[in-house]
């Protein structure tokens, strides 16, 4: 399962009862911060997959994901002082995308974002690679990296990808209705 905090939390919220494991190849984060500390976070999950071995296991993962996405995510986010503004699933080719936009009242409520007096930062574990960011990348040792922004930054962007994924199958055909 993904180790990046934001992906884990979103996927756990969406898929709490799935016996298998969903994987997300790439995540894109676009965070807008207002002067009062509130803002909005668009989390784009690119290439949502199931590690189910059988067709029935993959289909089950998909059904539970859809059910959780449709029903439970708002309550979970509200409990953490976040408000879901928009959510959607869509495909491009053989890839399933998920987008979740939520608002927050303070930067500490943004999943995975750490706040210090003079900086904001995200920790990226060695299993992931940074594809794009508007922050500064700092090496922490052991393959761990931090993406750092000044505390007064108003736009944070970063895209990270799993270096390798275990065997898995795309959920795009299920979303398009090609498999039931």
In this prediction, residue 158 has a pLDDT band, given cuts at 50, 70 and 90, of: very high
Residue 159 lies in a domain: yes
* Interval 29-70: pLDDT, tens: 999 999 999 999 999 999 999 998 888 999 988 988 887 777
Rg (CA), the chain: 16
Average pLDDT of the segment spanning 148-156: 96
| pLDDT of 147 over the 80 cut | yes
DSSP 153-176: -SEEEEEEEES---S-EESHHHHT
Q: Which domain holds residue 89?
A: 5-175
Average pLDDT of the segment spanning 125-140: 97
- Measured CA to CA in angstroms, residue 96 lies from 45, 70, 78, 80, 129 at distances of 8, 16, 26, 27, 20
Per the structure, the count of domains in the chain is 1
**Three-class secondary structure of residue 34 per DSSP:** coil
Measured CA to CA, the distance from residue 156 to residue 112 in angstroms comes to: 12
Q: Which residues in 129-161 are b (16+ Cβ under 10 Å) and which e? A: eeeebebeeeeeeeeebbbbbeeeeeebebbbb
Average pLDDT of the segment spanning 20-30: 89
Residue 32 lies in a domain: yes
Residue 180 lies in a domain: no
Residue 168 lies in a domain: yes
Which residue do the tokens 């449709």 mark? 70
Residue 111 lies in a domain: yes
Measured CA to CA, the distance from residue 29 to residue 121 in angstroms comes to: 13
Residue 21 lies in a domain: yes
List Cβ neighbours of 31 (8 Å cut-off, separation of 6 or more).
39, 40, 41, 42, 110, 113, 155, 156, 157
* Interval 96-107: pLDDT, tens: 999 999 999 999
């Amino acid at each position: 399962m993904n180790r990046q905090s934001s992906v884990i939390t979103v996927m756990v919220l969406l898929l709490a009862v799935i016996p298998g494991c969903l994987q997300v190849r790439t995540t894109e984060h676009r965070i807008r911060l207002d002067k009062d500390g509130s803002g909005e976070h668009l989390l784009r999950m690119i290439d949502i997959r199931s590690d189910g071995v059988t067709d029935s296991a993959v289909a089950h993962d998909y059904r539970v994901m859809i059910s959780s996405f449709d029903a439970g995510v708002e309550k979970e986010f509200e409990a953490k002082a976040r408000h879901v503004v928009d959510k959607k699933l869509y495909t491009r080719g053989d890839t399933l995308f998920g987008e979740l936009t939520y608002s927050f009242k303070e930067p500490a409520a943004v999943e995975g974002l750490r706040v210090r007096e003079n900086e904001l930062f995200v920790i990226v574990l060695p299993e992931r690679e940074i594809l794009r960011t508007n922050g500064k990348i700092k090496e922490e040792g052991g393959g761990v990296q931090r993406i750092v922004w000044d505390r007064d930054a108003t736009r944070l962007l970063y895209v990270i990808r799993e270096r390798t994924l275990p065997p898995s199958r795309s959920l795009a055909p299920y979303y398009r209705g090609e498999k039931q």
